[in-house]
Amino acid sequence: MAVWRRRLTTSQSFESFLRFLVFQSFGQHGRELITSELALRLLSIISGEQSIPNMDPVYLNNILSKLVLKVVPMENRNGRKLVEDGDLCERRNGRGVDLNRNWSVDWGKKEKDYDPYEENPGVAPFSEPETQIMRKISGAFNPHIWANVHSGMEALFMPYDHKNRTPDGLLSETMKFVLKEVNRLHCKGRCSVGSGGGSVGYLAHGTATDYMYDVNKVPMSFTFEIYGDKEASTKDCFKMFNPIDMKTYNRVLNDWCGAFFTIFEMGPHRLEAMKSSNGSADGDKLVSIDEYLEGYLMERSSRYGKRVEVLELGMQEIRTYFRLFLLSSVLLMFMFCSRISKSKYTAIRPIVSAVPL
C-alpha cells in the first residue's frame, strides 16, 4: 500500500492547507491486470518520474498539495498470481471468493443468473483477509473519495450496485455532476454514467463501493471501469479486460490519470460548495495538516491500550537510552579495572628463566 502526502516548504503555513483524503483500490479482481498498471503510473506521476501529456506540472502539483492519497495498487495478490500462472479468467482471490461480493451491504443475495465461479461471496461478510484489511484501512483513514478501479468496460459508476438506482439528495447529484464532467473531458462521452446496478445490466450484492457509501459514509464513492474490448471472445479474458498493444495501453493510463486529477480538483470544490449552501456535515471531514498529524501522533495508543502523548513517548525513549548509557559505562569501567588489575599482577610476578639449569 502506498501513502503519499505533499511536502510543504518552510515558508508555507500548515494552517492554510486543507487535506482532502482519497482512498483508491486497484487489482481487486486478478484478471484485470491493467488496473494495477494504472496505479503504478499514477504513483510515478505523483513522484515526478513521469508526466501526463498536455498537463502542466505546476497545475498537478497545486492539486496534489491539498491531498492525502492512500493507494492499494494490488488488493488481490493471490488472485493475480493465479492469473500470472496461466488462469487468465480468474477474478477471485486465492480462496475462491470474489472480493467485491464479500462486503456487508446486502451480502449474500443471489440473482437468477448467479455464477459461483464469478461471484462467490464467501461464507460470511468479511470472511476474507483482503476485505478485512480494506475495511480496517478505510475506517481509520475516513476518506472523502473512494475509487474502486476495475476493467471490462468503460464506465463511471456511483452507488448503488445492489439497487437499480442512485441515492437521493444533493450529494448524489454532486457525484453525478463530477462523473459527467469526467466523462466529457476524459472519456469523450464513451463511458456509462450512473449507478452500477442500473448501468451495468445486473445487480451486484456485497460490493465495496456500496459499503463505503452506506456504512463508512464516504461522500464520494465511485467504481471506475477503465477498459474493455467488446469484440473480444468471452474465452479470451486477457484481451477482454486488458489492452494488448502499447498505443492503447498508454492511452488508457494517460486518460485515466488525467481523470483522477480532475476528480482530485473537482471533489474538494464541489463538497465545499455543497457544505456552504446547506451546511452539510459531509464537508466537515476536511482537516488541516495540524489536525491530521495531531490525530495520528498525539492520540495513538501504546501497546497497552493507553493513550500516550508524544512528549511522554519521547521521555520514555530518553530514559531508556540513559539507562543503556549507564549500563554501558559500568561495563566499560569494570573491563578497564580488570585490565589494570591484571597488568599489575603480571608486573609483580617473579621472572622465571626459560633456560634449564
* pLDDT tens-digit series, residues 146-155: 999 999 999 9
Active site residue 225: yes
Cell 490519470 locates to 257
Q: Tens digits of per-residue pLDDT, 167-217?
A: 999 999 999 999 999 999 999 999 999 999 998 888 999 999 999 999 999
CB 240 within 8 A of CB 152: yes
Q: For residue 121, give the nearest of 136, 107, 137, 106 by alpha carbon.
A: 107
Q: For residue 261, give the nearest of 137, 158, 147, 134 by alpha carbon.
A: 147
Cell 473480444 locates to 232
Q: What is the pLDDT of residue 161?
A: 97
User: What count of residues does the chain have?
Assistant: 357
Q: Tens digits of per-residue pLDDT, 221-247?
A: 999 999 999 999 999 999 999 999 999
Q: What is the pLDDT of residue 316?
A: 57
Section 8-37 average pLDDT: 75
Q: What is the pLDDT of residue 7?
A: 38
> Cell numbers at residue 243, please?
489492452
Q: Tens digits of per-residue pLDDT, 285-322?
A: 554 444 444 444 443 343 334 444 344 445 555 666 67
As a whole number of angstroms, the distance between CA 173 and CA 147 comes to 17
Q: What is the pLDDT of residue 89?
A: 96
pLDDT surpassing 60 at residue 19: yes
CB 72 within 8 A of CB 1: yes
Cell 473519495 locates to 145
Q: For residue 25, give the nearest of 137, 103, 122, 181 by alpha carbon.
A: 137
Q: Which residue of the set 37, 119, 130, 225 is catalytic?
A: 225
CB 166 within 8 A of CB 160: yes
Q: For residue 159, give the nearest of 150, 148, 168, 167 by alpha carbon.
A: 167
CB 227 within 8 A of CB 129: no
Q: What is the pLDDT of residue 330?
A: 80
Q: Nearest 5°: phi and psi at 146?
A: -120, 130
Given pLDDT bands bounded at 50, 70 and 90, which one contains residue 112? Answer: confident
Considering the entire predicted model, what is its pTM?
0.76
Cell 500548515 locates to 14
